[in-house]
């Protein structure tokens, strides 16, 4: 079915004042540096040299976990067959002003890549993956998982290192687009029954996001990651919104992967000890997830931001306490 060009008017935000305030606040700070990463593949060069080529964007969920798109980890040959990139070739780069400079960046290898179990390479259904890293990331303010599903005319921010135009060079610096969410049903029939949504660039009247930006997280005004940019998007095409995999619809799977380390711990420590650790950590994490739940109208978002930040710090401290408590139990039990 051919794609339908959707009008920019259909993607105007309901609350234009909120959108303009979001743009102003985001441009005042480099908040993206606390969550945006570059997902890379190691390329072995002659004479033992190695380079790390950019594949996709990604979003830091916690100190060891990155949310990105599943299609980033597959190469497709001329025959249309997909081959999985070996996990040991995957690296993550954080905190770089320039995509092509490594000196001041934090580059860490992946120890595990979880592809969504129902991902379909043919049409990018459930296009999500979570990368676990060997070393912890440096994070200040963090993004959160969404507290509700997305709705038409919601607004958000997408950041990444996409190509400047179709088959063009990658941007050396992070690019950002402020978008308005719409409906994919009229755009492409293959996406009708998938947990996806579309979003159009607000400032540039509907230009799409290009390759390299795929895998990047779409953030709400509450800095919840509500979508992940999928490969089905059309690069920099006027009137063709980007296609995003909805995070809320996959929240249970994401949380299961985030909590998988607790299951691993339970293999090596007494069940009673694991239960204590699980309970204290779960309490802190649940509190952390519920911080940003608020009314859809968002008329007092700015006023609530200070109190939300305070709660964020409280929850973060409780999580630190849970970790310290567990380490103390480890020491006392001789594990």
pLDDT confidence of residue 132? 94
Element (H, E) at 68: strand 65-68
Least confident of 71-75, 185-189, 211-215, 328-332: 328-332
Task: Give 173's pLDDT tier (boundaries 50, 70, 90).
Answer: confident
Question: What does the buried/exposed string (b/e) look like for 253-268 if buried means 16 or more CB atoms within 10 Å of the residue's CB?
Answer: bbeebbeeeeeebeee
pLDDT at 109: 92
Q: Hey, what are 122's tokens?
A: 């043919």
- Top mean pLDDT of 79-88, 172-181, 190-199, 265-274 is at 79-88
Q: Between the CA atoms of 74, 77, 81 and 83, what dihedral angle is there, to the nearest 10 degrees?
A: -30
Res 4 pLDDT > 70: no
Of the ranges 172-176, 225-229, 270-274, 296-300, which one carries the lowest mean pLDDT score?
Answer: 296-300
| Rounded Cα–Cα distance for residues 314 and 292 (Å) | 13
Instruction: Decide if pLDDT at 317 tops 90.
Output: no
For 232, list phi and psi in degrees, rounded to 5: -70, -10
Global pTM reads 0.70
Q: Three-class SS of residue 123?
A: coil
Residue with more model confidence, 238 or 91: 91
Top mean pLDDT of 195-204, 212-221, 270-279 is at 212-221
Instruction: Quote the CA–CA distance of 285 and 275 in Å, as a whole number.
Output: 15
Give just the sign of the alpha carbon dihedral 317, 320, 326, 331. negative
What is the CA angle 47-53-58, rounded to 5?
Answer: 145
- Residue with more model confidence, 94 or 246: 246
Mean residue pLDDT across the chain: 69
The number of CA neighbours under 13 Å toward the Cβ of 307 is 9
**pLDDT above 70 (res 172):** no
**Is residue 251 predicted with pLDDT exceeding 80?**
yes
- Residue 237 has what pLDDT? 56
Q: Are 201 and 207 in contact (CB under 8 A)?
A: yes
Q: For residues 190 and 273, what is the distance between their CA atoms, to the nearest angstrom?
A: 48
> Which pLDDT belongs to residue 289?
45
> In this predicted structure, what is the pLDDT of residue 205?
54
Q: At what angle do helices 271-289 and 301-333 cross, to 10 degrees?
A: 170
Which positions ≥6 away from 276 have C-beta within 8 Å? 325, 326, 329
């Amino acid at each position: 079915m051919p794609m339908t060009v959707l009008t920019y008017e259909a993607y105007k935000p309901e609350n234009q004042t909120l959108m303009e305030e979001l743009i102003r606040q985001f441009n005042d700070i480099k908040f993206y540096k606390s969550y945006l990463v570059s997902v890379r593949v190691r390329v072995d060069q002659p004479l033992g040299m190695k380079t790390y080529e950019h594949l996709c964007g990604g979003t830091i969920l916690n100190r060891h976990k990155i949310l990105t798109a599943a299609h980033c980890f597959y190469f497709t040959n001329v025959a249309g067959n997909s081959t999985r990139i070996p996990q040991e070739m995957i690296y993550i780069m954080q905190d770089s002003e320039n995509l092509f400079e490594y000196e001041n960046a934090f580059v860490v290898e992946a120890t595990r890549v979880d592809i969504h179990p129902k991902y379909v390479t043919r049409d990018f259904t459930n296009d999500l993956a979570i990368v676990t890293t060997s070393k912890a990331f440096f994070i200040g303010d963090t993004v959160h998982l969404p507290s509700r599903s997305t709705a038409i005319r919601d607004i958000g921010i997408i950041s990444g290192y996409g190509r400047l135009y179709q088959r063009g060079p990658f941007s050396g610096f992070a690019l950002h687009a402020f978008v308005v969410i719409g409906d994919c049903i009229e755009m492409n029939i293959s996406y009708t029954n998938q947990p996806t949504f579309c979003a159009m660039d607000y400032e540039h009247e509907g230009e799409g996001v290009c390759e390299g930006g795929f895998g990047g997280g779409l953030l709400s005004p509450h800095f919840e990651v509500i979508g992940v940019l999928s490969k089905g998007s059309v690069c920099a095409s006027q009137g063709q919104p980007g296609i995003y995999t909805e995070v809320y619809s996959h929240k249970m799977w994401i949380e299961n992967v985030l909590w998988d380390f607790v299951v691993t711990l339970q293999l090596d420590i007494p069940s009673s000890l694991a239960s204590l650790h699980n309970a204290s950590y779960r309490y802190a994490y649940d509190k952390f997830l519920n911080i940003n739940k608020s009314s859809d109208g968002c008329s007092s978002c700015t006023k609530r931001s200070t109190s939300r930040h305070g709660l964020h710090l409280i929850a973060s401290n409780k999580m630190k306490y849970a970790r310290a408590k567990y380490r103390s139990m480890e020491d006392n039990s001789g594990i």
